[in-house]
Amino acid sequence: MSINLSSVAVEKALSAPASDGIAIETRSLNIYYGNFKAIHDVSLQIKPREITAIIGPSGCGKSTILRAFNRMNDFVPGARAEGEVLMHGRNLYAPDVDPVEVRRRIGMVFQKPNPFPKSIYENIAWGARINGFRGAKRDTDELVERSLRDAALWEEVKDKLKESGYSLSGGQQQRLCIARAIAIQPEIILMDEPCSALDPIATLKIEELMQELKKQYTIIIVTHNMQQAARVSDKTAMMMLSEGTRAGTVTEFDETETIFTRPKDKRTEDYVTGRFG
Amino acid sequence: METSTNLQPALPRAAAAAGAFRPTDLKRRARPLEFLVQAGLFFCGVLSIFTTLGIVYVLGQESALFFTNPEVNVVEFFTTFKWQPEIGHFGVWPLVNATLMTSFIAMLVSGPLGLSAAIYLSEYANPRLRSLLKPTLEVLAGIPTVVYGYFALTFMTPLLRAVLGVDTVQVYNMAAAGIVMGIMIMPLVTSMSEDALSAVPRSLREASYALGATRLETAVQVVVPAALSGIMAAFIIGISRAIGETMIVAIAAGAGPNLTFDPFKAAETITGHIARISGGDISYASIQYESIFALGLVLFAVTLVLNLISKAVVNRFRQAYQ
Amino acid sequence: MSATTTSGQLPEDQAFRQYLQGRHRVGRAWQLFFLLATCVGILALAALLYNIVDGAFGYVAYEDKVDAATVSARPLEALSKDELVAILQENLSRGAFNTLNKEQPFEQRSQGDVYNLVLERVLQRKPVAAWSLTDSLTRRAAIDAELAEEHPNATLAFRSWLSPKFLQEPMASQPLYAGVRTAILGSLWLIMITIAIALPIGVGAAVYLQEYADTAKWYNRLIETNIYNLAGVPSIVYGILGLAILVRALELFSSGALFGVTDSNGRTILSAALTMALLILPLIIVNAQEAIKAVPDSFRQAAYGLGATKWQTIWAHVLPNALPGILTGSILAVSRAIGETAPLIVIGASTFITVDPSSLFSKFTVLPIQIYIWTSRPQVGFHNVAAASILVLLALLLTLNAAAILLRNRFSRRLY
């Protein structure tokens, strides 16, 4: 399965600023839901155009951390963040930052594929349109084709663009959601267990797709599947409940190979060798 | 030590003492009480069928009498424009027209307002505000229609006359009745639409927000289209309610059939006419009496069709969220 | 709010931010619109209540045809009942006086009652103008002026159209003397008989549909669809049904002739109650179904496991646990029934009746019908008594709904 990168996308990738070689980072990030502390003191630096995986036992806050990047936690009543999340040197949680713009720059793919009840074409065109994309039909067609090609879905749906997004299989729907996300040209793509609802073949396709996508986008993926993390990611962050609390924290963050072969933290070693979790 | 092989003998002695319980007798017993009860309950359920059959039979029979009466002509009923039973005119359009006009005005009011309120309650309001606003709207729904009729006559009509002039707006007029009907129907539309909106899965909203959409864009371009079948059903039920409504139009819209397209004039709807005729002194064998049933049949048929359409709309267009 | 720099591209940076500002502005505007739409409902409710209260209290100008001074030296309010009866006897014709006595002997009548009679029949007091509460509170001077000009002989008095007397007096043709006692009693009689009929049948049907009916069978699905459709039939059609079947076809039964009652026709409380029962039946069934559905299956399994029959299980376990929901649903149905007018007009509720209902076969009137009749009269005072009756009706509904909430809470607590 080969992927065609359109010229515009390559151009964009080359021109994207790499400020100090960091795509996004957190500094002493604590997240609370009301009085309950969910995330404790996380400082991570994510490099651009790499795949960073976040692994750990369930309930330790992996999804919370992921959603902190694109401020999706804002929708939980009582959620607040202390500390900073910095992108291009700007704190995304600063009071003068518009979360809507944050979400334009940082896309998300969810655990269960959630295409809109619109046609395949509209699923992709809509996001661009509300973000200001204006163009003749030809331009929109081009945008849709480009996004579908980059998501490795074009060949399968090019003859049925007007059909509903729900007419696709699970794996195809997830790739549709990826195409939808990249249509608005984000810098970072967040993936929250994107393959957990898919069968192994669909999972494989998505993992291959990720390798191509990372040439243009920074990808942060949460997964409970250690083998997947080992296969797919360049860097891995190990998350666990901080000692004696119910708040999650990053206990180790390193090259994936190191995490899985020579982890420095005993807890990491216990987890990846399957002694618990 | 005695082994416990002697357990068995203990039981029959106790059973013999109790006298009644024979654990080996598992044959199905005839239970007359159970059967009677089930038959009785079945009858209760079937009673509703009898009601419908009764309605259809009664309306049908008397309508047949009405249409076979030499003074009345079915074609005339549906195609002429004068309803004056005293002189033998039985064209139903003045009544139908008034019904349609008042219902249309009612939907003009309750549709946009009801849907907007539903969008606000579902997509914007925080739980505290919701717990304040929802009961208030429910109170509106519980007020008897005769009270709305009073309101239409003593508040809405004077208001319209003050705003638009005493010459434009008659004392009895369709607009006041229609507007107040709209207010009465609004809680119904809001409640059904809000149910439809709330049924849209959260994941769709999240997908929309994650693309950098604002709350308005999400609500109007993603959630409402996804809930469209439920919203359409709400509107259709609202229309059905408006068509069947009696007291508001009987009090405020006017007494006396009048074919006009001016909403500020008086006119009598189908329901208002039935109420006025049956409230007066009519003899049972008269054509007036039979006309009640013919009109009732029209009413029943129209509302039944609307209700069936609404149900079909929900089933046919329901989005399957995977 | 122009979007992009070049066509076929997504806007970036400054152009994007500007566009985003526009989107936020539009979003805020529509949010305000949606909020205002929601508030229209609340405003309407407030206007409604204000309008009613406004009509139920205010100044009344009345004129006496016969001056009170010519009939009695002392003011009428100071006279004893016997003295008032004497005045009646002096000033009314023999026939009229005896008729009054026959309707209800003067010894039994209250003083207020006799006083009213003096006002009505001797002085022939009639209202000539009435004002709303707001007018009465804010425009007193203008009212006085108006009065001096148009009705110089009239007296002005503040009147609460809603008063304890209003609740106790029977109907009358004059608004000054009318009360809603007959109507309240009629409503209560009607609702009690309606519920006595509709509740057992409705709960029975719900039990059948939830516990016994196999939903795969076509006739059971037909019953359910049918109930759903019946709920949407306009209430006036039920009235027509009741008229044809109960009032006419079954007149022997509904008028009581079958049971020896001779002086009535089919337009009785019984006919009305049966019609209303049919009307609210779908409501009760649907509510009861929900309540029964909510009873956890584990209750039933436990009973069956002990060898109980189906009916034993239902009677001893399911129904008691579903009771709060059923009660709440019934009270909602009752609220609906109390406010219904159209079917009763068609059935033939009396428009003028002064005798309290005394049996199933009595003629009757109900509060909503009274409201309808009085609202439809343009003469002075009728809208005011209509407003007062509406307040009584709303108070009744409020009490019912409050009782529903209380009952539901009480029963829910008792179970656990």
Pick from C3, C7, C23: CB nearest A136: C7
Q: Is residue C42 part of a domain?
A: no
| Backbone torsion region of residue B173, taken as left when φ is above 0, otherwise alpha when ψ lies between -120 and 50, otherwise beta | beta
Number of domains into which chain C is organized: 2
Cβ–Cβ contact C199 with B under 8 A: no
Nearest by Cα to C344 from B278, B59, B148: B278
Contact between A180 and B211 under an 8 Å Cβ cutoff? The reply is: yes
Cβ pair C47:B151 closer than 8 A: yes
Quick one: how far is CA A160 from the chain centroid? 27
- What kind and span of H or E run contains B114? helix B93-119
- In whole angstroms, what is the distance from residue C350 CA to residue C40 CA? 37
Q: Domain range holding B152?
A: 83-317
Pick from A101, A104, A135: CB nearest C7: A135
Tell me the two tokens of residue B284. Answer: 């049972």
Best residue in C1, C10, C23, C28 to probe A by mutation, most A CBs within 10 Å? C10
Best residue in C38, C203, C229 to probe B by mutation, most B CBs within 10 Å? C38
pLDDT of B20 reads 57
Pick from C8, C23, C24: CB nearest A139: C8
Pick from A98, A134, A138: CB nearest C4: A134
Cβ pair C7:A98 closer than 8 A: no
Q: Is residue B6 part of a domain?
A: no
**Which residues in chain C have Cβ-Cβ distances shorter than 8 Å to B145?**
339, 341-342
Shortest CA distance from C348: residue in chain B:
B279
Q: Choose one of C137, C165, C193: the last residue of a domain.
A: C165
Cβ–Cβ contact B124 with A under 8 A: no
- Domain with C373 in it: what CATH number? 1.10.3720.10
Chain A: touching chains (3 or more CB pairs < 8 Å): B, C
C218 and C284 share one domain: yes
Cβ pair A101:B206 closer than 8 A: no
Which pLDDT band holds residue C68 (cuts at 50, 70, 90)? Answer: confident
Q: Spell out the long-range contacts of C396-401 with Cβ–Cβ below 8 A and sequence spacing 24 or more.
A: C396/C184, C396/C187, C396/C338, C396/C367, C397/B142, C397/B144, C397/C335, C397/C338, C397/C339, C400/C331, C400/C334, C400/C335, C400/C338, C401/B142, C401/C331, C401/C332, C401/C335
C257 and C394 share one domain: yes
C125 and C192 share one domain: no
Nearest by Cα to C205 from C227, C225, C231, C235: C227
Q: Choose one of C165, C193, C220: the last residue of a domain.
A: C165
Strands A188-192 and A218-222, by their bridges, are: parallel
pLDDT of A20 reads 63
Quick one: how far is CA B228 from the chain centroid? 19
Pick from B207, B212, B225: CB nearest A110: B207
What is the maximal distance between C-alpha atoms in chain C? 102
State the smallest CA–CA distance between residue A121 and chain B in angstroms: 15
Q: Is residue B136 part of a domain?
A: yes
Cβ–Cβ contact B203 with A under 8 A: yes
Contact between B215 and B123 under an 8 Å Cβ cutoff? The reply is: yes
Tell me the two tokens of residue B33. Answer: 């009480």
Residue type, A3: I
Pick from B210, B226, B320: CB nearest A107: B210
C305 and C231 share one domain: yes
**Which residues in chain C have Cβ-Cβ distances shorter than 8 Å to A133?**
3-4, 8-11
Choice between C312 and A177, residue whose per-residue pLDDT is larger: A177
pLDDT > 60? residue B3: no
Residue C398: partners with Cβ closer than 8 Å, 6 or more residues away: none
Cβ pair B207:A115 closer than 8 A: yes
Distance, first Cα to last Cα, chain B: 68
Cβ pair C346:B278 closer than 8 A: yes
C291 and C217 share one domain: yes
Cβ–Cβ contact B221 with A under 8 A: yes
Cβ pair A116:B201 closer than 8 A: no
3-state secondary structure A139-197: HHHHHHHHHHHHCCCHHHHCCCCCCEHHHCCHHHHHHHHHHHHHCCCCCEEEEECCCCC
Q: Quote the Cα angle for B215-B216-B217, to 5°.
A: 95
pLDDT of A3 reads 38
Number of domains into which chain B is organized: 1
Q: Is residue C23 part of a domain?
A: no
Q: DSSP of chain A, one letter per residue?
A: ---PPPHHHHHHHHHS--GGG-SEEEEEEEEEETTEEEEEEEEEEEPTTSEEEEE-STTSSHHHHHHHHTTGGGGSTTEEEEEEEEETTEETTSTT--HHHHHHHEEEE-SS----SSBHHHHHHHHHHHTT-B--HHHHHHHHHHHHHHTT-HHHHTT-TTSBGGGS-HHHHHHHHHHHHHTT--SEEEEESTTTTS-HHHHHHHHHHHHHHTTTSEEEEE-S-HHHHHHH-SEEEEEEEPTTSS-EEEEEEEEHHHHHHS-SSHHHHHHHTTS--
Shortest CA distance from B215: residue in chain A:
A100
Superfamily of the domain at A22-115+188-272? P-loop containing nucleotide triphosphate hydrolases (3.40.50.300)
Residue type, B175: A
- Domain with B119 in it: what CATH number? 1.10.3720.10
Q: DSSP of B152-180, one letter per residue?
A: IIIIIHHHHHHHH-TTTS-SS-HHHHHHH
Q: Is residue B75 part of a domain?
A: no
Contact between A199 and A230 under an 8 Å Cβ cutoff? The reply is: no
Pick from A132, A138, A140: CB nearest C16: A132
Contact between C256 and C268 under an 8 Å Cβ cutoff? The reply is: yes
pLDDT > 50? residue B67: yes
- In whole angstroms, what is the distance from residue A95 CA to residue A103 CA? 15
pLDDT > 80? residue C46: yes
- In whole angstroms, what is the distance from residue B238 CA to residue B100 CA? 13
Rounded to the nearest 10°, the torsion over CA A182, A183, A184, A189 is -10
Contact between C298 and C311 under an 8 Å Cβ cutoff? The reply is: no
Cβ pair B209:A112 closer than 8 A: no
Cβ pair B250:C278 closer than 8 A: no
Cβ pair B221:A126 closer than 8 A: yes
Cβ–Cβ contact C41 with B under 8 A: yes
Best residue in C2, C9, C18, C23 to probe A by mutation, most A CBs within 10 Å? C9
C157 and C191 share one domain: no
Averaged pLDDT, C252-269: 76
**Which residues in chain A have Cβ-Cβ distances shorter than 8 Å to C15?**
132
DSSP character at residue B309: H
Tell me the two tokens of residue A230. Answer: 């080992």
Residue labelled with tokens 């049996």: C359
Share of chain C above pLDDT 90, in %: 27
Q: Quote the Cα angle for C394-C397-C402, to 5°.
A: 125
Tell me the two tokens of residue B261. Answer: 């397209």
Q: Quote the Cα angle for B206-B210-B215, to 5°.
A: 70
Contact between C197 and C246 under an 8 Å Cβ cutoff? The reply is: no
DSSP character at residue B220: I
C319 and C406 share one domain: yes
Q: Is residue B4 part of a domain?
A: no
- What kind and span of H or E run contains B90? strand B89-90
Cβ–Cβ contact B318 with A under 8 A: no
pLDDT > 90? residue C387: yes
Q: Choose one of C133, C165, C197: the last residue of a domain.
A: C165
Q: Domain range holding C64?
A: 57-165
Cβ pair B237:C232 closer than 8 A: yes
Collapse the DSSP code of C126 into the 3-class scheme (helix H, G, I; strand E, B; otherwise coil) and give the result. strand
State the smallest CA–CA distance between residue A98 and chain C in angstroms: 9
Per the DSSP assignment, residues forming a β-bridge with A150 are: none
Nearest by Cα to C337 from C406, C266, C278, C255: C278
Shortest CA distance from A112: residue in chain B:
B203
- In whole angstroms, what is the distance from residue A42 CA to residue A82 CA? 10
pLDDT of B322 reads 38
Output Rg (C-alpha) for chain B, integer angstroms.
29
Which pLDDT band holds residue B14 (cuts at 50, 70, 90)? Answer: very low
pLDDT tens per residue across span B259-313: 999 999 999 999 999 999 888 777 777 888 888 899 999 999 999 999 999 888 8
Annotated domain spans of chain A: 22-115+188-272
Choice between C2 and B222, residue whose per-residue pLDDT is larger: B222
Alpha carbon separation from A253 to A40, A53, A89, A192 (Å, rounded)? 15, 10, 21, 18
> What global pTM score does this model have?
0.86
- In whole angstroms, what is the distance from residue B244 CA to residue B247 CA? 10
pLDDT in tens, chain A (277 residues): 333 343 333 334 333 455 568 899 999 999 999 999 999 999 999 999 999 999 999 888 999 999 999 999 999 988 999 999 999 889 999 999 999 999 999 999 999 999 999 999 999 999 999 999 988 899 999 999 999 999 999 999 999 999 999 999 999 999 999 999 999 999 999 999 999 999 999 999 999 999 999 999 999 999 988 899 999 999 999 999 988 888 999 999 999 999 999 989 888 888 888 876 5
Cβ pair B211:A114 closer than 8 A: no
Contact between C393 and C48 under an 8 Å Cβ cutoff? The reply is: no
Contact between A17 and A185 under an 8 Å Cβ cutoff? The reply is: no
Contact between A51 and A214 under an 8 Å Cβ cutoff? The reply is: yes
Q: Is residue B32 part of a domain?
A: no
**Which residues in chain A have Cβ-Cβ distances shorter than 8 Å to C11?**
131-133
Cβ–Cβ contact B286 with C under 8 A: no
Nearest by Cα to A218 from A61, A28, A29, A22: A22
Cβ pair B212:A127 closer than 8 A: yes
Cβ pair A132:C24 closer than 8 A: no
Q: Is residue C43 part of a domain?
A: no
pLDDT > 50? residue C21: yes
**Which residues in chain B have Cβ-Cβ distances shorter than 8 Å to A112?**
203
Cβ pair B212:A173 closer than 8 A: no
Shortest CA distance from A183: residue in chain C:
C10
Q: Is residue B26 part of a domain?
A: no
State the smallest CA–CA distance between residue A138 and chain C in angstroms: 8
Best residue in B123, B211, B216, B319 to probe A by mutation, most A CBs within 10 Å? B211
C97 and C222 share one domain: no
pLDDT tens per residue across span C156-211: 888 888 888 888 887 787 888 888 888 999 999 999 999 999 999 999 999 888 88
pLDDT tens per residue across span C189-202: 999 999 999 999 99
